[in-house]
Structure 1
Amino acid sequence: MALQAALRCSDMTRRLLTFARRQTLNPEPVDLHALAAGMGELMERTLGRSIAISIAGEEAGTLWPATVDRSQAESALLNLVINARDAMPQGGRLTIRTANARLTEPLSGHGITAEPGDYVVLSVADTGCGMPPEVLERAFEPFFTTKETGKGTGLGLSMIYGFVKQSGGLIRIDSAVGQGTTFSLYLPRAAAGGQPAAGAADGAAPLTGRGETVLVVDDDADVRRVTVQAVRDLGYRVLEAEGAEQALAQLTAGRRVDLLFTDIVMPGMNGRELAREGLRRCPGLRVLFASGYADGTAAEADAELAPVETLAKPYRDADLARALHRALDDGTPDACAAGGGVPDHGKAVSAE
């Protein structure tokens, strides 16, 4: 019960951060038609038998890839499907459509303006009750909902709004009472040469350690103790430090260190500064960040630490396992030991 309460709080916080455009995203080229098709079974179960669903529009080979955070795009689509279901209590039809769109002039909607350029449109249309003007005007307000108490948080559409705006896109609503509603998400086209990333199936790659040594750095003793145990349970050797000074001492003590797993916000030298100094002393070192703050610290551009991937804190053990594995996914890396290592810019993954 405590875990479920914590996860609900975590989810609500993440949705609010997304609405405020302070959630760090991991944009990548994504085939939105394939993404929708891959969620087909989940959406059918969500809608029930009284609602027919169809997925139409541009398909592979003709649809441009969009630059989006895959998990946020999936969450946005599922939220729109749930909203459509609630708008059709007696049943109806839901149509998901993808299309290429080239804007030759700015297009505005709900306080967002999309600049001229290429976009991929993901639209979700229902045959439900529709929205009156007064509801349409407030649709994206956090905590605003027309559902009865206990049936919704009012954060679904606000999360989508923040995600689309932060992605550099646009969201539009066409709705009429008794005629249904269509949500259209305009998401930026991926740069030329960008190929949609194939979604890896869970368990496709081993998510346990291969004997690597992880240096865990956190100034909070309780958090550090839990993290050390979690990393050790995943099959890694673990060293620990309560701050940057101890961590740098560990890195130069002659012990093998494959990965530096450090909190970002710490007294004195913060985690990013520690990582840069660690890479200077041990060029082959890999880095993984952790932070519970949403101040953008881990999202700042830093060529020395790029590419940066994000994992929201608090995280589950499975999330940690995947982040550790991604940081070390090119085999056993050149470790830091007695000033060793080879010239390398290192690889950084961020758990913001």
Structure 2
Amino acid sequence: MLENAPKIPLMNEEQRFRLLIDAVVDYAIYMTDPSGIITSWNSGARRFKGYEEAEILGQHFSRFYTDQDRAAGLPQRALDTAVHEGRFEGEGWRVRKDGTLFWSHVVIDPIIDSQSGTLLGFAKITRDLTDRKMAEETLKQSEQQFRLLVQSVTDYAIYMLDPQGQVTNWNLGAQRIKGYLPAEAIGQHFSMFYTPEDRDTGEPQRALSIAASEGRFEKKGWRMRKDGTRFMAHVVIDAIRSDTGMLLGFAKITRDITDVTQAQQALEQAREALFQSQKLQAIGQLTGGIAHDFNNLLTVILGNLEIVRKRMPNEPKLTQLLDNATQGALRGVSLTQRMLAFARRQKLTYESVELSALVKGISGLLQSSLGPSIHVQTRFAEALSPVLADVNQLELAILNLATNARDAMPHGGQLMITADERQGSDAAPDKPMAPGRYICLAITDEGEGMDEATLASAVDPFFTTKGVGKGTGLGLSMVHGLAEQLGGRLMLSSQKGVGTTAQLWLPVADNPAPGKASIQETTPPVDELKVLVVDDDSLVLTSTRLLIEDLGHRVLSAPSGAQALELYEINPDIDLVITDMAMPQMDGAQLAKLLRDRQPTLPIILATGYAERLEGFATQLPRLIKPFKQIDLVQIIGQTMK
């Protein structure tokens, strides 16, 4: 034993215990007598209750309770509970010396004499839990606010599932979108919102499996409401896990995007329709231009063939060759007419047409063209209004549609031709029609039908599904162009293996136009004329000049509008001007206007390869349609010079 070691005063067990209790500063530890009078006070009690030992000894412990708790008798009930149950434990608000409140956890144990069993008093331990209580209150308030927020959302269905997929809560948005009340949905499996097809393929279980394994599942799909209707939904499922990683359930958010989806589909359909319209317009411009140039070539060929035939000796073999060449050129004329029909630039003669009478009139030709294996049936509405159309072109259009139907039924079948009156608003949303009355002439077959890709290209010029040499690909394009030029539309619907329906919508003739006047085969002879011929194509210019000179007239020719004006200034005695319509720098209408300014009564004929849109006085000028023959020149010159 070291002599210099500090001497520790000897303490009995009670002293050591008192030092231990007084050293504790995080707990208020004190004793009361059986009536609740405080008999001891430690440092912890002094720290967070605020009383010094001298201030509090001899005071009743109830002073630490709030007025409400004292009025309710809570202090005495705590002591009684400790006596009867051997212990009291609870939490509540307590009051410091300065009047502030703190949240405390309280334990009261009775002190019993072990020999006599007499109650000696109470041992009381109090812990300040204000920080924890405030954190709990903040969390509780946050949870309440979040719950109110979720419940107030009506545009989203927000609810939770247990790990098996049972619904555990339900917000107002879920009630509005899906139609179920909370009592009807909570406890049910969420697969009740899926379509029968999705349930059969296990889609609900797959969604939970992906969310559980990847943490999140997101998809769009059809869902069911309580009333059985369907809506397009955007669904997100998030897995909810504890801190230890255990799956607690799923948070599910569903949004009704039916309106958005429909609007997007309508926009896509409108874009597709615009693209198709622009595509056909571009092809139409190209086709019209080609047809115009082709007509110029055919004008030259036919004109020169006529002159050669008139001037050559009567040799049968040569005559046969010329006839073959002429027939070939005329086939080219038919081809250009179809091209112009698609481009909506053919020359039409508008008149009032009774569809039932027209179809009846061509029934013999129709049946002979289709063959005995095709059975034609017609069904027309009573008192059907007439349409405004070109009879010849409309007959050709019906024959084209019927022929296509026949080719789609190689083993025969039934061809149904119907007609009824409709309004423009009756048309399909993706193919809108201008307001007004229309007659819908429909030709339906039982043929092979078309898939979507074929149907989308059906009216494109030169597109055909027939073998090489068996079709030009201009039949449907011609019908399409005719319908558009008449102010109507060709609508096709088809299903592979079922058949095709071609609907030709034509405007009703509210003010029936008179029938076209018949052209006399013979025209009164015209005295010798001085004719000015204008065309920027030198071949056409030469051919036209030769044809007119062959009729006995004197001809001046000019390759442009400017040179034509110069010739007229030098030759004011010109009797007639025949000018091409489509010329660079100055077209035929502009030239005609300048010539009429000089001589208001000057006869002028516009020669054109297709139907341009004219304005002003030019609409009244006679037109010579290319390609033309000498007889066409004779007739139009005779009519113009009457």
- For the superposition of Structure 1 and Structure 2, which TM-score range results when normalised by the shorter chain? 0.7 to 0.9
More off after superposition, 1-10 vs 236-245? 1-10
Matching residue's letter, 1:26: L
Q: Distance in 1 between matches of 2:460 and 2:604?
A: 38
Alpha-carbon spacing, 1:253–1:13, altered in 2? closer, same or farther (3 Å): closer
SS at match of 2:619: coil
Cα distance per residue 1:39-79 (max 9 Å; x no partner): 333323321233233454258xx433323344432332221
TM-score (norm 1): 0.73
**Aligned 8 A contact 1:112 1:170 in 2:** no
Separation (CA, whole Å) in 2 of partners of 1:54 and 1:280: 58
Aligned residue type for 1:180:
G
User: Post-superposition shift, 1:261?
Assistant: 1.1
Matched to 2:449, the amino acid is G
Which digits, 9 at most, give the CA deviation of each residue in 1:208-263, with x for residues without a partner? 75337343223444322211232355x56343221445644448745361x42111
In structure 1, which of residues 293, 306, 329 is the aligned counterpart of residue 619 of structure 2?
A: 306
Q: Distance in 1 between matches of 2:391 and 2:569?
A: 35
The equivalent of 1:224 in structure 2 is 541
The unaligned stretches of length 5 or more in structure 2 are 1-323
Equivalent residues in 2 for 1:201-280, closer than 5 Å? 204-207=520-523, 209-211=525-527, 213=529, 214-233=531-550, 235=551, 237-242=553-558, 243-244=560-561, 247-248=564-565, 249-250=567-568, 253=571, 255=573, 257=575, 259-266=576-583, 269-280=586-597
Residue by residue, what CA displacement relative to the aligned partner does 1:263-298 show, whole Å, maximum 9, x if unpaired? 134465432222112222332333221245x6xxx6
Task: Indicate how the Cα distance of structure 1 residues 240 and 256 shifts in structure 2: closer, same or farther if over 3 A, else same.
Answer: closer
State the Cα deviation string for residues 141-165 of structure 1 (Å, max 9, x = none).
3333221222112221122223323
- Preserved contact between residue 123 and residue 184 of structure 1 (Cα < 8 Å): yes
- Is 2:427 aligned against 1:107? yes
Q: Which has the larger radius of gyration?
A: 2
Q: What one-letter code is carried by the residue in structure 1 that aligns with 2:348?
A: N
- The equivalent of 2:515 in structure 1 is 197
How far apart, CA to CA, are the structure 2 residues paired with 1:122 and 1:238? 51
**Aligned counterparts of 2:579 and 2:436: Cα–Cα separation in 1:** 40
Corresponding residue for residue 137 of structure 1: 456
The aligned counterpart of 1:66 is: 387
The Cα shift of 1:315 comes to 3.5
* Bigger RCO of structures 1 and 2 (CA < 8 A, at least 6 apart): 1
Q: Distance in 2 between matches of 1:310 and 1:280?
A: 20
Deviations along 1:4-62, one digit per CA (max 9) or x if unpaired, are 5555555445434443x352443513305243333333323321233233454258xx4
Q: Percent identity?
A: 36
Contact 1:216 1:238 in 2 (8 A): no
Match of 1:181 in 2: 500
Partner of 1:344: none
Structure 1 CA distance, aligned partners of 2:526 and 2:384? 40
Q: Where does structure 1 lack aligned partners over 5 or more consecutive residues?
A: 334-352
After superposition, the Cα gap between the structure-2 partners of 1:106 and 1:92, relative to the gap in structure 1 and judged at 3 Å, is: closer
* Cα distance in 1, alignment partners of residues 553 and 619 from structure 2: 25
Q: 2:216 aligns to what?
A: none
1:119-160: CA deviation from partner (whole Å, max 9, x where unpaired): 122222233333344433332233332212221122211222
Q: Counterparts of 1:113-192 in structure 2 under 5 Å?
A: 113-190=432-509, 192=510
TM-score (norm 2): 0.43
Say whether the 8 Å CA contact 1:130–1:176 is kept in structure 2: yes
The answer to whether residue 376 in structure 2 is matched with residue 53 in structure 1 is yes
Check 1:148–1:253 CA distance in 2 against 1; reply closer, same or farther (3 A cut): closer
Contact 1:260 1:286 in 2 (8 A): yes
Higher helix share: 2
